[in-house]
Chain A
């Protein structure tokens, strides 16, 4: 057995199953990490595998998500929007979870794992600040230290979330390198972790990074899809929606949603920001410890994503999405900033739900495609991954400027 022949010993993977010891989703994923970090990744992989097989861990996790996090989140039937668009729209309401987004599902799981591993300090990267807020929340809940890396540009456009993190007792560190957004926050969090992994747990916020993160975060987020499938069956008389749509930054809310529907007949659609469309405009490469579709130039330099939504401003995408795209099980579409602003207003007015700018991308795609690639009368589940409070000030400014 050659230790370098990782592709050879990867277990054959069921769709959205265990990616094997090499962390492969088809040709994607893996563990492209400096040697200094490999041991920490292996330690984490074993700790998670053990915890995930432990009923006690699941019991504690789901009890916290229920009594503290507000799960299960409901599925809401959108009567007025459905009438307007001519398709039947259901929303999976992660915006109603504690801290206002799906990020808490992942973070409570990882913070519990950190405690189990004896790590007393959490670090995290954040774009929109939702993952940072969720991590700061979990750290407060479990009495852990917390430091959040956030790009300087995002600190400006998500001021409110910076203050929330500070209120929760976290230290927010401005990242001044590179594009000063999410990608660079990941770099700095990894740099911190290389020096501190003895005592520090890196709480990564999406289905990206070196193995085991893409697998672990998808497992922790699969609660979204598992709940939603049952809820949809109840609402739809035992059937599944025709389309399941979610926005994609790193890809965690979509991966968690898709996990519940991958074995149904539903069409799975991930919606990326037009300015950060890794699947549509990227090519396979290696960034942040994983092989996946990545926006890059002819020399392999990573390009900067550009979107009004800080949470989707990422030039890569989780490796499992690259795999699902490559086998055609999911498709990846894009929505541009202007359509997203329209969708933001549309959902607010028709349903009384102000969405975060990230899931407004999913709404924008559905609004655009209803009656076109989404046939009239079709049933569409959209994951409402977060609420829009954090974006209201930014949108106000943008609308004034129009």
Chain B
């Protein structure tokens, strides 16, 4: 299955082979007037993947911070169409992944949405509420359209199921560090390492750990057992708090240097 790697997965594999730990950063499109500048700052400070959240009215896998960001984006009129138009003009050269909920794709039409993502220059997708059992139709359309759909393995996922998910996942495999919604945590859950091991045991696709990874120290801890890390709420909170693209950039730089050692 490793042979049919798409460009996103290839890019990540190449970096990994060069000894680099992978940094994926998340923000919600439209959450603040300066979100595109924040996107540029994340790019400038060395993210390897940027996940762009397309806001959904009912984000059931998100904690208060990302809920608030999504709410602001929706109030500011950030429909999927507007998000994709802005992203398409952002000039970002780091691979972009759209993160959203299934109804956003379904409403647009799966085939049509895959096409619109590609048009906006987006390489991959993460659909928070799409279980393995229900993922067939989107996986097919994404594959046909050239979108690498990243799938999740969680603490309760069995080894056999993890193997199936890993084989269907494109781009990388998202290892859910902890049970619960997105949000910052004081310390890294012990389940993070277990999930990472469960994934790396069954696949050589890049394995990135996210959800509840909030500090440079935690990012570095994660990178001792996985190929990389996904950081979301810690970035989104900084933007909500008004730290601006500068603050976000400094934080991403700190993450980068913590995992680069």
Q: Does any Cβ of B come within 8 Å of A321's Cβ?
A: no
Chain B residues positioned under 8 Å from A301 (CB to CB):
56-57, 74
Whether B81 pairs with A299 at a CB distance below 8 angstroms is yes
Chain A residues positioned under 8 Å from B107 (CB to CB):
283, 285, 296, 298-300
Chain A, 278-322, contact with B by CB distance < 8 Å: what is the 0/1 string?
000001111111000010101111100000000000000000000
A39–B103 CA distance with the chains assembled, in angstroms: 22
Q: Closest CB of chain B to A4's CB: distance in Å?
A: 4
Whether B58 pairs with A183 at a CB distance below 8 angstroms is yes
Chain A residues positioned under 8 Å from B74 (CB to CB):
301
Chain B residues positioned under 8 Å from A300 (CB to CB):
56, 80, 103-108
Q: Does any Cβ of B come within 8 Å of A35's Cβ?
A: yes
Whether B164 pairs with A195 at a CB distance below 8 angstroms is no
Q: Closest CB of chain A to B8's CB: distance in Å?
A: 20
Tell me whether A6 and B181 are in contact in the complex, defined as CB-CB below 8 angstroms, given that A177-B67, A288-B60 are known contacts: no
Chain B, 104-131, contact with A by CB distance < 8 Å: what is the 0/1 string?
1111100000000000000000001111
A30–B168 CA distance with the chains assembled, in angstroms: 20
- Mark out the residues of chain B between 49 and 92 whose CB falls within 8 Å of any chain A CB in the assembled complex: 56-61, 63, 67, 71, 74, 79-81
Chain A residues positioned under 8 Å from B63 (CB to CB):
191
Q: Does any Cβ of A come within 8 Å of B6's Cβ?
A: no
Q: Does any Cβ of B come within 8 Å of A56's Cβ?
A: no
Interface centre among A22, A30, A194 (most CB of B within 10 A): A194
Q: Does any Cβ of B come within 8 Å of A62's Cβ?
A: no
B174, closest chain A residue (CB):
A35
Q: Does any Cβ of A come within 8 Å of B254's Cβ?
A: no
A198–B106 CA distance with the chains assembled, in angstroms: 31
Whether A34 pairs with B128 at a CB distance below 8 angstroms is yes
Q: Does any Cβ of B come within 8 Å of A36's Cβ?
A: yes
Interface centre among B132, B134, B135, B139 (most CB of A within 10 A): B134
Tell me whether A3 and B104 are in contact in the complex, defined as CB-CB below 8 angstroms, given that A187-B58, A301-B56, A302-B58 are known contacts: no
- Mark out the residues of chain A between 312 and 346 whose CB falls within 8 Å of any chain B CB in the assembled complex: none
How many chain B residues sit at the interface, stated as a range, is: 35 or more
A382–B108 CA distance with the chains assembled, in angstroms: 39
Whether B57 pairs with A178 at a CB distance below 8 angstroms is yes
Q: Does any Cβ of A come within 8 Å of B157's Cβ?
A: yes
Q: Which residue of the partner chain, among A3, A177, A294, contacts B164 with CB atoms under 8 Å? A: A3
Whether B133 pairs with A3 at a CB distance below 8 angstroms is yes
Q: Does any Cβ of B come within 8 Å of A40's Cβ?
A: yes
Q: Does any Cβ of B come within 8 Å of A168's Cβ?
A: no
How many residues on the A side are at the interface (Cβ–Cβ under 8 A)?
Answer: 43
Q: Closest CB of chain A to B176's CB: distance in Å?
A: 6
Q: Does any Cβ of B come within 8 Å of A52's Cβ?
A: no
Q: Does any Cβ of B come within 8 Å of A65's Cβ?
A: no
Chain A, 187-208, contact with B by CB distance < 8 Å: what is the 0/1 string?
1001100111110000000000
Q: Does any Cβ of A come within 8 Å of B35's Cβ?
A: no
Chain B residues positioned under 8 Å from A187 (CB to CB):
58-60
A7–B179 CA distance with the chains assembled, in angstroms: 28
Whether B133 pairs with A302 at a CB distance below 8 angstroms is no
A286–B56 CA distance with the chains assembled, in angstroms: 12
Chain A residues positioned under 8 Å from B129 (CB to CB):
32-34, 286, 289
Q: Does any Cβ of A come within 8 Å of B2's Cβ?
A: no
Whether A194 pairs with B108 at a CB distance below 8 angstroms is no
A34–B102 CA distance with the chains assembled, in angstroms: 11
Q: Closest CB of chain B to A218's CB: distance in Å?
A: 21
Interface centre among B135, B153, B164, B179 (most CB of A within 10 A): B179
Q: Which residue of the partner chain, among B103, B135, B155, contacts A286 with CB atoms under 8 Å? A: B103
A285–B103 CA distance with the chains assembled, in angstroms: 6
Whether B181 pairs with A194 at a CB distance below 8 angstroms is yes
Q: Closest CB of chain A to B216's CB: distance in Å?
A: 24
Chain A residues positioned under 8 Å from B157 (CB to CB):
35, 38-39
Interface centre among B106, B131, B151 (most CB of A within 10 A): B131
A285, closest chain B residue (CB):
B103
A288–B61 CA distance with the chains assembled, in angstroms: 11
Whether B131 pairs with A34 at a CB distance below 8 angstroms is yes
Q: Does any Cβ of B come within 8 Å of A31's Cβ?
A: yes
Tell me whether A34 and B133 are in contact in the complex, defined as CB-CB below 8 angstroms, given that A4-B139, A286-B103, A302-B57 are known contacts: no
A208–B67 CA distance with the chains assembled, in angstroms: 23
Chain A, 31-52, contact with B by CB distance < 8 Å: what is the 0/1 string?
1111110111000000000000
List 6 A–B pairs whose Cβ atoms lie within 8 Å, in order of A's numbering: A30-B133, A33-B129, A34-B131, A35-B152, A287-B58, A287-B103
3 smallest beta-carbon distances between A and B, as pairs: A300-B107, A195-B180, A4-B136
